Amino acid sequence: MSQPDPLLTTVSTKGQVTLPKSIRQRRNLDAGTRLVVEDTPDGILLRQAPAFAPTAPDQVFCLLATGRPPVSLEDMDAAILTEARARHDRD
């Protein structure tokens, strides 16, 4: 069983590289997709950049403070059940 021919691309005079269409389609890389470029001992690695910057829990907890006391899980479950019954007219 032979291996498929490697896909080749060329670096332009502006330093741009075009990824082959088959790879762009397989990886869902549309125009404007951001890639992280990493220089590794084996070559150049391209990874899709994360949509959001990494955050630690203490950076996001309590950002949506309401000024009201917290609600218990039981109260939340009861409210959800009440609304579901109201919307679906069931017992």
Whether 31 maps to a domain, the answer reads no
In a domain, 69, yes or no: yes
Q: What are phi and psi of 43, to 5 degrees?
A: 145, -155
Asked if the structure places residue 51 within a domain, the reply is: no
Q: Is residue 63 part of a domain?
A: yes
Domain assignment of residue 35, yes or no? no
What are the pLDDT digits (tens) for 47-90?
999 988 888 887 777 666 677 888 899 999 999 999 999 888 76
Continuous H helices in 8-72: 21-26, 57-60
User: What's the pTM value of the predicted model, to 2 decimals?
Assistant: 0.53
Please give the structure tokens belonging to residue 89: 């007219």
